[in-house]
Structure 1
Amino acid sequence: MDQPKVTVYIPTYNRKGLLERAINSVIGQDYSNIEIIVVDDNSTDGTESFLEEKSKEVANLKFFVKKQNSGACASRNIAIENATGDFITGLDDDDYFLPNRISDFVHFWTEKEKETVFLYSSYTLKIGESHFTKRGLRKKKMDFDSLLKVNDVGSQVFIETEVLRERGFDERLPMWQDFKCWLDILSGGGIAQGINNYSYVVDISHAHERISMKRKDKLLIAEDIIKSSFQLDKYQRLYLENHKCNYGVGYKMNFKEVLSVLFRLDFDFFFKFRFIKQYIKTLNN
């Protein structure tokens, strides 16, 4: 393929101003063969009218409006089902791309290792009007096991559309839908390959709620669904438990479990450090 078509999907809900920035960042890519699909989750802030006008100006923009609110996960699946690109990647409505994002992915795809099933990247974090910081990759290759240990993939990947369409996002989960989707894909074998280009900007400077701020009980529901979806051994279950470090949620770990992790030679220092951090948090549970 000389210049394969790439679909960018954007789920949105009541963020018209931020959505316009997101769409414009895709329009401004230095790669031309792009399809943009926006799925509006029954917004009440004039998003539908904005999309109607924007689609008249932008020929490669398609949009769908849901008749009732059902969450970003269902919105992603609608976009994936209607995508016509050879490849697909996502963008949250409150984030945006730097101009080189799609061209970098297409370039790296042609040089990827044979067993690679999707690409992911580092990102730039916007924490103020003019305050940015770069977040590099800790791991440039991930398989099913390493993703369970630490999710360095994040919420967006670059992948063949048919592969993502076959799996889709699990709409039962109140959060962690992206994490489970990547696990689903890697459970069939292969690796994910990362690139350090910082072309995705995660904006936490605005007043809108982000998914990471959701309530902890939703996290526990998501964890139970993931545990029941895969045949995880004892250590894989501990890997998954460790993901809750960022939320301060956990169960009562016993000291034998902690020692078993510390003495595993195939666990790197980073994982052991996070696991101990989680164990300390659970002491007060």
Structure 2
Amino acid sequence: MTYPSVTVICLCYNHEQFLVEALDSVLAQTYPNLEIIVADDASTDQSVAIILNYCQRYPQIKFVRNTQNVGNCTAFNLALKQATGTYIIDFATDDVMLPERITEQVTCFEKLSPEYGVIYSDAELIDEDSQHIRNFYRRNQAGALKPKAVSGEIYADVLARYFICTPTLMFRKVVLDRLNGYDSSLAYEDYDFLVRAAREYKFYFQDKILTKRRKHSQSLSAGWYKVGDKQLLSTIQVCYKALKLNRTEQDKQALIQRVEWETQQAFFTQNYPEAEALLALLKQVKPFSLKNKFFKILINYRVNLSFIHRFYYWLVHRQP
């Protein structure tokens, strides 16, 4: 039996608290044909010392050490240049893989046609102490997932809404090669890459929990919508890219849905310049509705309604 090679690119930045559990989970994989590349993005804690210790104990680990902080996208791309696997996993070293993850994902991929370029799955959310919070997908009484997970040609879905747990992703390397990896001009990678990949390839949802995604205060996603955070600007750039990628009326409506959502989030979190930029994009796609005109007035006068966003976030993300 042949086992296609899988490259796990382990991205680290100041993850000393979680690094041992993360690397141990990669080394504990049941899959026999792994290439492990650890890329450190100029950590200022003890992460490098931990990685060097692992490299000494496990000579198969390749270490890409950045002496200057270059950001997630560039750090990943530098590691990708050394990757030889048929399949690629972008693995943040504050997360954890379950032992069967790679075996399960490769088995699934090998049954799919080459049209499928990306697999994703459910995940368990854990806290800083590795304690269970909840599963990524909630389920109603009938067992249906919320948010809804979809397979096949899902470009419009990816563009319109957030429903993919990105730490669960596995790619065919040809997808990354064709798209030239991540866009290093952006502050974060996943939304842009998923939009571009979904334009060209089908996705497949594997209804299994194979990864533990860690929620903690220092994660990149924790800074989302904080005033001055560059991730929102990157989202705006991706929406402008999508404007050129769109082909159908469904695509257009998906972009409108996303831009209207991001405009509201920007406004309620007091990111007023970004909200103005999003409204300018929206105006290129559709005539302003009464609601959009109302938002424009609120944004122009910098009306502070941030308490509404805080309440909504608490309501949505509270534990059941």
| CA distances 1:220-263 after superposition (whole Å, capped 9, x unpaired) | 3113321332314642431331553666565668997669xxxx
Residues 211-222 of structure 1 mapped to structure 2, 5 A cutoff = 211-214=221-224, 215-217=226-228, 218-222=230-234
Q: State yes or no: 1:144 paired with 2:144.
A: no
Residue number in structure 2 paired with 1:179 = 191
Q: How many residues align?
A: 265
Of the candidates 235, 242, 247, which is equivalent to residue 223 of structure 1? 235
Q: Is 1:53 the counterpart of 2:65 in the alignment?
A: no
Q: Would you say 1:155 and 2:166 are equivalent positions?
A: yes
Unaligned runs of 5+ in 1: 260-275
| Alpha carbons of structure 1 residues 12 and 114: separation in structure 2 relative to 1, 3 Å | closer
Cα distance in 2 for residues equivalent to 1:143 and 1:80: 25
Q: Provide the TM-score with structure 2 as the length reference.
A: 0.72
Deviation at 1:283, TM superposition (A): 8.6
Shift in CA distance, 186/224, structure 1 to aligned 2, threshold 3 Å = same
SS at match of 1:94: coil
Distance (whole Å) between structure 2 residues aligned to residue 69 and residue 165 of structure 1: 24
Cα contact 2:123–2:165 (8 A) shared by 1: no
Work out whether residues 155 and 179 of structure 1, in 8 Å CA contact, stay in contact via their aligned partners in 2.
Answer: no
TM-score (normalizing by structure 1) = 0.81
**What is the aligned partner in structure 1 of residue 23 from structure 2?**
23
**Pairs within 5 Å for 1:84-103:** 84-103=84-103
SS of the equivalent of 2:88 reads strand
* Whole-Å separation in 2 of the counterparts to 1:208 and 1:201: 17
Q: Which residue of 1 aligns with 2:126?
A: 126
Q: Residues 203 and 242 of structure 1: is their aligned pair in 2 closer, same or farther, counting only changes over 3 Å? A: farther
Counterpart mapping for 1:64-75 below 5 A: 64-75=64-75
CA distance in 1, matches of 2:71, 2:101: 26
Q: Which amino acid letter does the alignment assign opposite residue 45 of structure 2?
A: D
8 Å CA contact 1:7–1:85 kept in 2: the answer is yes
Give the counterpart letter for 2:210 in structure 1: S
Runs of 5+ in structure 2 lacking a partner?
A: 138-144, 270-274, 300-320
User: Secondary structure of the residue that 2:17 maps to in structure 1?
Assistant: helix
Please give the root-mean-square deviation of Cα atoms over the aligned residues, in Å: 3.0
| Structure 2 match to 1:241 | 259
Contact (CA 8 Å) 2:100, 2:210: kept in 1 or not? yes
Aligned partners of 2:178, 2:82: CA distance in 1, in Å? 13
Aligned in 2, Cα 1:280/1:121: closer, same or farther, shift over 3 Å?
farther
Give the 3-state SS of the residue equivalent to 1:112 in structure 2.
coil
Alignment partner of 1:180: what SS?
helix
The secondary structure found in structure 2 opposite 1:82 is coil
Structure 1 residue 77 displacement after superposition: 0.7
